[in-house]
Amino acid sequence: MIFANSLRRFGDFNLCFVSVAIVGVLLSVFARGVESAEQLPLAIPQFEQQVQVSHTATDGLPSSDVLQIARDDHGLIIAKTSAGYARFEDPRWVSLSEQEAAEHFLVEPAWYDSLAQHVSRREMVRAVAEHDGEIAVAAENGLYIGDGEQWSLALVGDSRKRWAPIDVRAVVYDLDGRLWFASPQGVGRRNPDGSWSLFEGSDGLPYNDFSCMAAGPKGIWFGTSNGAIRYADGVWEFRQGRRWLLDNQVRDIVVTDDGTAWLATSAGISCIEFRPMTLSDKARFYEAEIEKYHRRTSFGYVNPAVLSVPGDRSTAVPRYSDNDGFNTGLYLAAMSMAYTTTGDAQYRRFADNSARALAFLSEVTQGGSHAAPKGAIARNIIPTTDPDPNLRYDLEYDLGRRKRDSLWKILQPRLPIDASGQWYWKSDSSSDELDGHFFGFATYYDHVCETETQKDSVREAVRRIIDHILAHGFNLVDHDGLPTRWGHFSPDDLNRNPAWCAERGLNSYSILTYLLIAEHITGDPKYREVYLKLALDHGYGMNGMTQPRLQEGPRSPGHQPDDNMAFMNYYHLIRYETDPRLLSMYQYAIRCHWKYEMPERNAFTNFIYGACSLGKTRRDQWGETDLTPPDECFKGAVDTLQRYPLDLIEWPMSNAHRIDLVPMGEQAEHPATNGHRVDGFTFPIDERQETYWDWNPWKLTSGGDGTQLRPGFHYLLAYYMGRAHGFIAEQE
């Protein structure tokens, strides 16, 4: 039996709209010279966002076990399932008889007998394609090319390699008439001049256990035993995991005239569509998702949601986490920059409400049976109408954590009830929560606050927190009067306590940031006085120049939350500071740090580096260094924003089996579980689970069962920061 479906697929092709080619290597980026300043803002046109639409038995298919897929004479999609045939008549599938459908799958070409002398068994033929009188046959023993009477076994080669293709799994002609084949050796393309281009892992081919292939107006699609691949305009894209596929083993593919790819799997049909979209369209999508699924408590904290049915957003309920302050601080900053960028009063309302929610976290800790000192901040709040969370965070929990972390703090109750009796508030807050508070308040103050009344509300909250830290020896303390596990900022700890060696640089810059923001917002010189004493007399300015990532090297995944926090600190330290001695220290730190972050194409850190370094120079004993970001800084950020997936459900994904993978070197903490593409960059954000800027983008596998829905405020923060600083603009 020959798959006549393959015959009907000739003449389809693809282009990649959302990818920017990566050029150069890590250390050459700065050496290329800088042209970005004259080209900003980057005018970003409408692009094509890829989205999966699933089709299963609930949509009318006779069975979700789909064996093959084809198009009828009218261009409609026909599916062959284990329980019968169906045709897609939008929005439902309509059953077909075997007689109506079989002709689209079982036709055998008249010329087959002429091939028999070369292919002894019909099962050896995997697929055929025809174009302009030429016929290509994918066979177990090679690639045959002929005219229906005469056949030759193809030998292919380019300037680097020569293949006699064997075990050829699929063939297709694209719209330009170029012949493509796929085999475990790799992918081959015959060019118009008769030469061949051959692709394998070192050329960016993600995987090579092929099952099928199709072409269309937006490129070439490949099905494999563990994911789908699209090639367009020199870029390879990998689609694996439930975000993209109902099952990772792709059995068959059809591409329609609009470029949509229909992929048959044992769990249904995954339809990958290309939807025209702008970056602002995308922002509005995430904003609507947040309002619908992610608001928690009457204060509107933005948090992940739990889905009681995997993948079903209608079952979403926002859950509390340890990061009400951090998350809300980032969201507050995003909405503040959105207001500056658009002037839309809606964003001002969002920012005002978030600032109030953030301030409440340092108010709720006062009073009650376990009152904390003034200015202590809660990690989160939970209504007392909910089940008592202390049943989970009991003494046994603390003792278990102490076994894994000898400095873990035993604290009971971990969630006291506030003075009003309405809220549990979680204690033992940390430096990342403080970073979120100060980052959010400073951005809100700069971009939204106009009247003295508005400014005074921020001043009050900032004073409350920073005065607490100063009153307790540069520590954040709990209701027991002792420092929290991670809230240590004193010179005794950071400069003289070996237990704080790893946090020395980061926490030094954190407390400096808090003090500098406090001076900026309140105008009180006492904060500047303490700031200078720490920065210069206690060496905090230099401490941050030797943060762990700056020592470990560019290919170490490091601790991503620390990287994220460091850049949040750089953002205000460098933009607010005027002392040339301290600026030189901070500029050295961010430049070294960003060189290690650059391969991640992190839109947030890239835009922060741009905001801190564009048009700046740094002078030291070796001369003058131009700090202005290279083009890749801004282009990489845009590529990530365009690729940022609309589906933020945590599905399991894996890149561990890819053949374009380079494992981490031994300097990585977990070299076997982290890796990157052959070009040195991380895999793109739509090919991995990581969607928060402080998650590890080098990680090769990720879990998830489809029950966690993440909010898109990380996208919003980077997008509106890029807009607010004039790095990107929507193309008219």
For residues 221 and 326, state if they share a domain.
no
Find the helix or strand (DSSP H, E) in which 396 lies.
helix 395-404
What mean pLDDT do residues 534-548 have? 91
CB 318 within 8 A of CB 308: no
Last residue of a domain, one of 275, 307, 338: 275
Residue 105: per-residue pLDDT: 84
Is residue 342 a part of any domain in this protein? yes
Residue 107: per-residue pLDDT: 67
CB 265 within 8 A of CB 41: no
Last residue of a domain, one of 260, 275, 290: 275
Residue 373: per-residue pLDDT: 98
Is residue 135 a part of any domain in this protein? yes
For residues 204 and 339, state if they share a domain.
no
Q: What is the pLDDT of residues 57-99, one digit of tens each?
A: 999 999 999 999 999 989 999 999 999 999 999 999 999 999 9
CB 607 within 8 A of CB 721: yes
Residue 26: per-residue pLDDT: 40
Domain that holds residue 161: 4-17+52-68+109-275
Is 432 a residue whose pLDDT tops 80? yes
> Alpha-carbon distance 337 to 278, whole Å?
18
Is 555 a residue whose pLDDT tops 60? no
What mean pLDDT do residues 157-162 have? 92
Q: What is the pLDDT of residues 20-59, one digit of tens each?
A: 333 333 444 444 433 445 589 999 999 999 999 999 999 9
Is residue 201 a part of any domain in this protein? yes
**CA 48 to the chain's CA centroid:** 17
Is 213 a residue whose pLDDT tops 90? yes
For residues 209 and 341, state if they share a domain.
no
For residues 238 and 346, state if they share a domain.
no
For residues 325 and 271, state if they share a domain.
no
The three-class DSSP label of residue 224 is strand
> Alpha-carbon distance 331 to 327, whole Å?
6
Residue 552: per-residue pLDDT: 57
> Alpha-carbon distance 494 to 628, whole Å?
32
Beta bridge partner(s), residue 620: 623
Is 529 a residue whose pLDDT tops 50? yes
Q: What is the pLDDT of residues 332-364, one digit of tens each?
A: 999 999 999 999 999 999 999 999 999 999 999
For residues 198 and 333, state if they share a domain.
no
Is 710 a residue whose pLDDT tops 60? yes
Is residue 527 a part of any domain in this protein? yes
Is 1 a residue whose pLDDT tops 50? no
What mean pLDDT do residues 474-480 have? 98
CB 467 within 8 A of CB 373: no
Burial call 483-512: b when 16+ CB within 10 Å, e when fewer: bbbbbbbbbebbeeeeebeebbbbbbbbbb
Residue 546: per-residue pLDDT: 82
CB 228 within 8 A of CB 219: no
Residue 21: per-residue pLDDT: 30
What mean pLDDT do residues 505-533 have? 98
CB 445 within 8 A of CB 439: no
Is residue 287 a part of any domain in this protein? no
Residue 667: per-residue pLDDT: 60
pLDDT above 70 covers a percentage of the chain that reads 92
For residues 241 and 330, state if they share a domain.
no
Range in 109-123, 187-201, 429-443, 508-522 the model is least confident about? 109-123
For residues 476 and 342, state if they share a domain.
yes
Residue 33: per-residue pLDDT: 36
Look over the chain and give the mean of its residue pLDDT values, rounded to a whole number.
Answer: 92
Residue 42: per-residue pLDDT: 96
CATH number at residue 186: 2.130.10.10
Residue 550's pLDDT band, with cuts at 50, 70 and 90, is low
Residue 172's pLDDT band, with cuts at 50, 70 and 90, is very high
Is residue 104 a part of any domain in this protein? no
Residue 15: per-residue pLDDT: 27
Residue 108: per-residue pLDDT: 74
Residue 669: per-residue pLDDT: 66
What mean pLDDT do residues 441-456 have? 97
Is residue 386 a part of any domain in this protein? no
Is 17 a residue whose pLDDT tops 90? no
What mean pLDDT do residues 113-138 have? 87
For residues 270 and 326, state if they share a domain.
no
Residue 590 sits at φ, ψ, to 5 deg, of -70, -35
For residues 194 and 136, state if they share a domain.
yes
Residue 551: per-residue pLDDT: 52
Q: What is the pLDDT of residues 247-273, one digit of tens each?
A: 999 999 999 999 999 999 999 999 999
Q: Note the helical H segments in 499-652.
A: 504-522, 525-532, 540-543, 548-552, 560-576, 580-597, 603-613, 631-643
For residues 135 and 233, state if they share a domain.
yes
Q: What is the total count of domains within the chain?
A: 2
CB 226 within 8 A of CB 248: yes
Residue 3's pLDDT band, with cuts at 50, 70 and 90, is very low
Last residue of a domain, one of 509, 534, 559: 534
Is residue 235 a part of any domain in this protein? yes
Burial class (CB in 10 A: 0-12, 13-18, 19+), 386: exposed
For residues 502 and 373, state if they share a domain.
yes
Residue 109's pLDDT band, with cuts at 50, 70 and 90, is confident
State the CB neighbour count (10 A cutoff) for residue 401: 14
